[in-house]
Amino acid sequence: GLRFPCPLADEHNCPKTFSSSKMAKAHSHIHSGVQIPCPLAKGYGCDLMFKTQEYARNHKKLHTHPFICPRKDCIRRFQSFGDTLQHADDPNHQVPELFLCPVQMCRSATIGKPLNGHDIKWHRNLHVQLGHIDSTDFIPQAAKEQQLHSDISLYSLIQQHERLDLTARSSREELALGIAEDDGDLDVNETDLKDIYNAIDSDDNDHQDMQDDDEMQEAFPKDGGLLQELEYPSELLSQEHLQRRESRGSGILRLANRCAGPQNSVCASRNCDRLPVHGCAYCPLHLSNLLQNSHKSIHNHSITQLQEMFKSAIRKEWRIQPQYDVVRKRTKEILQSKRPGTDLIILDDEFSPASQQLWDSLPFWSHISQFKAKEVYSSARNTSLEHMDVDEVAFRLRQVGISPSTVIIVYHATNFDLKLLTRFLESAGYFGYLPTEENCIPIVNVLRPHLSDRMSSGRRFPLKLEVPCPLMFPRHSLVGMNHQALADCQQTRLVCMAYEELCKPVAERGEEWRPDAVARSSQRSILDWLQDSP
């Protein structure tokens, strides 16, 4: 259809187009740099800023009318929860025709997510673009509208005191109010699944702080708990709502935060209490951030800048971090034949980002495993890869001598890989096969104190394994073989060897670890190759 360009496209080299001239004109104010505060900033403690007065006025309705109709595609908002239910239950309310995705391996199909006519067409085109299906294979199924609300009185009480999380507005609300631009952004639930698992593979500790279950649980009142509050529901819920707002800077009061639900009932990201995407550990906002950051690899950084930063860092003697002492002690004992080699190992897991289960144990994601196999293995290799089940894994662990006293090294900022494998074994009744978390050494935390400077972009020195390994061993055959469990373990071993060498006084290091010798370019000319040839 007809698209309208930004009125200031030539002046600011803006490529964006819009579905109406009004939206294009409203967008042009972005280039002026004006920041308009929320009209109700003081009364609601809102610190959001907007590009135009119209956006700010439209945003105001999110405060004054915090309850949105639960019916799909309805954007009507109301001042009270009762008015919202009355509107939604109106027999004359328009109900859109809804469909279910027929593609079995699709997350939307698995959770039974209903899509309207426009969404199902876009959804089909996405599957075709990703090569999942041919357009002729897509025959959507009719879906019934989901239950609008719970009849439980507790649900109504909580909804009456709930306030909208302004940092996680849904796109349909923003678009309807004129806050969001009509750029057709991808819904995080429909994003390329390959990008999702690549995002979770990230070793950047900014996104690897997966907290323990007890850290993610909300603190409940100790004097009688939730049942006592229900004696005076309105007054007590309002009082705690105010306390949460003052103590945490947030006025959110959600059902998921008030009831003791299953694991990952809230987003696993630190200090985030939003609901996660179904079957995933993160809310849409943080999952979207993971996807964006997954592409910020070494190729997006200046290799010259990384080399200079690394060379600068090794001009002084590094210090052995306290948590690494056990590795050095265990290595020495193994070399002296006082311990078996299996008392110190390196672990790397490949797992599903949606369920946090190991790849081999998740048949539903077999098509994703095929994607990964194509990246890892040669195209000439048989794609019917043999996988070990949980019984075989447990047998091999005992066979090679892994025990609770083993020290495990992981190239991450947390011990999540060990927790994941332990959970996998215990789900089949294999307890006591692996050590506790105290015996797990995350190497990223060992390296970070020595590589903490920030780049010109403002980001910290990247510690994803594919960055330090080629800087330390620029011409090693393992460079570029990341995201394969065995290769990642071998690269981690190399990084540990380099770390121990760099912890020596500069004068006592091997010649190849002197500042002027490290971090050479990995590129070689054809003349270099000819000179090395016999």
Same domain, 339 and 351: yes
Burial category of 105 from C-beta neighbours within 10 Å (exposed 0-12, middle 13-18, buried 19 and up): middle
Q: Are 99 and 120 within 8 A, CB to CB?
A: yes
Q: Are 83 and 69 within 8 A, CB to CB?
A: no
Same domain, 158 and 208: no
Please say which residue of 251, 276, 294 terminates a domain: 294
Please say which residue of 294, 325, 350 terminates a domain: 294
For 139-174, b where at least 16 C-beta lie within 10 A, e where not — what string? Answer: ebeebeeeeeeeeeeeeebbbbbbbbbbeebeeebb
Q: Are 208 and 419 within 8 A, CB to CB?
A: no
How many whole angstroms separate alpha carbon 430 and alpha carbon 425? 5
In a domain, 170, yes or no: yes
Coil/strand/helix, residue 282: coil
In a domain, 534, yes or no: no
How many whole angstroms separate alpha carbon 344 and alpha carbon 397? 13
Per-residue pLDDT at 503:
93
Same domain, 204 and 154: no
pTM: 0.45
Coil/strand/helix, residue 115: strand
Same domain, 386 and 460: yes
β-pairing verdict for 4-5 and 17-18: antiparallel
Q: Are 344 and 409 within 8 A, CB to CB?
A: yes
- Domain range for 218 is 192-294
Handedness of CA 163, 185, 104, 416 (dihedral sign): negative
Domain count, the chain: 3
In a domain, 39, yes or no: yes
Q: Which two tokens stand for residue 111?
A: 């959770």
In a domain, 150, yes or no: yes
Same domain, 150 and 199: no
Among residues 271, 427, 420, 442, the alpha carbon closest in space to that of 352 is found at: 420
In a domain, 264, yes or no: yes
- H-helix or E-strand containing 143? strand 141-143
Per-residue pLDDT at 388:
73
Beta partners for residue 216, in sequence order? none
Same domain, 237 and 176: no
Contacts of 71 (CB under 8 A, 6+ apart): 88, 93, 95, 145, 148
How many whole angstroms separate alpha carbon 61 and alpha carbon 36? 15
Same domain, 109 and 136: yes
Same domain, 326 and 439: yes
Q: For residue 429, count other CB atoms closer than 10 A to its CB.
A: 9
CB hemisphere CA count around 47 (13 angstroms)? 3
SS3 content of the chain, % helix, strand, coil (to 5): 45, 5, 45
Among residues 46, 73, 67, the alpha carbon closest in space to that of 149 is found at: 67
Among residues 367, 26, 66, 385, the alpha carbon closest in space to that of 182 is found at: 26
How many whole angstroms separate alpha carbon 311 and alpha carbon 332? 29
Please say which residue of 294, 315, 331 terminates a domain: 294
Among residues 469, 476, 472, 450, the alpha carbon closest in space to that of 461 is found at: 450
Per-residue pLDDT at 488:
87
How many whole angstroms separate alpha carbon 216 and alpha carbon 205? 18
Q: Which two tokens stand for residue 489?
A: 């373990």
Q: Are 490 and 501 within 8 A, CB to CB?
A: no
Crossing angle of helices 233-248 and 153-160, rounded to 10°: 50
How many whole angstroms separate alpha carbon 445 and alpha carbon 432? 26
Per-residue pLDDT at 103:
83
Coil/strand/helix, residue 235: helix
Handedness of CA 397, 401, 405, 411 (dihedral sign): negative
Q: Are 466 and 298 within 8 A, CB to CB?
A: yes
Going residue by residue through the chain, which has 534 residues, state the pLDDT in tens, using 9 for 90 and above.
678 888 888 887 888 888 888 888 877 777 776 778 888 888 777 878 887 777 788 888 888 888 888 777 788 888 887 788 888 888 888 777 888 888 877 877 777 788 888 888 888 888 888 878 877 778 888 887 666 655 555 555 555 555 443 333 334 343 333 333 333 333 333 333 333 333 333 333 333 333 333 332 222 233 333 333 333 333 333 333 333 433 334 333 333 333 323 445 677 777 888 877 655 667 777 766 665 555 444 445 677 888 889 989 998 899 999 999 999 999 999 999 999 999 999 998 876 655 566 654 333 334 444 444 444 444 444 444 456 778 888 999 999 999 999 999 999 998 988 998 998 888 889 999 999 999 999 999 999 999 988 888 788 898 988 889 888 888 788 887 777 778 889 999 999 999 999 999 988 888 777 666 654 544 455 555 555 555
In a domain, 366, yes or no: yes
Same domain, 334 and 289: no
Q: Are 368 and 352 within 8 A, CB to CB?
A: yes
Same domain, 351 and 408: yes
- H-helix or E-strand containing 142? strand 141-143
Q: Which two tokens stand for residue 125?
A: 């085109």
Per-residue pLDDT at 185:
32
CB hemisphere CA count around 171 (13 angstroms)? 11
Coil/strand/helix, residue 30: helix
Q: Are 310 and 518 within 8 A, CB to CB?
A: yes
Same domain, 339 and 304: yes
In a domain, 321, yes or no: yes
Give the length of the chain.
534
Among residues 191, 157, 205, the alpha carbon closest in space to that of 444 is found at: 205
Same domain, 372 and 447: yes
Per-residue pLDDT at 145:
65
CB hemisphere CA count around 453 (13 angstroms)? 13
Contacts of 183 (CB under 8 A, 6+ apart): 16, 18
Per-residue pLDDT at 101:
87
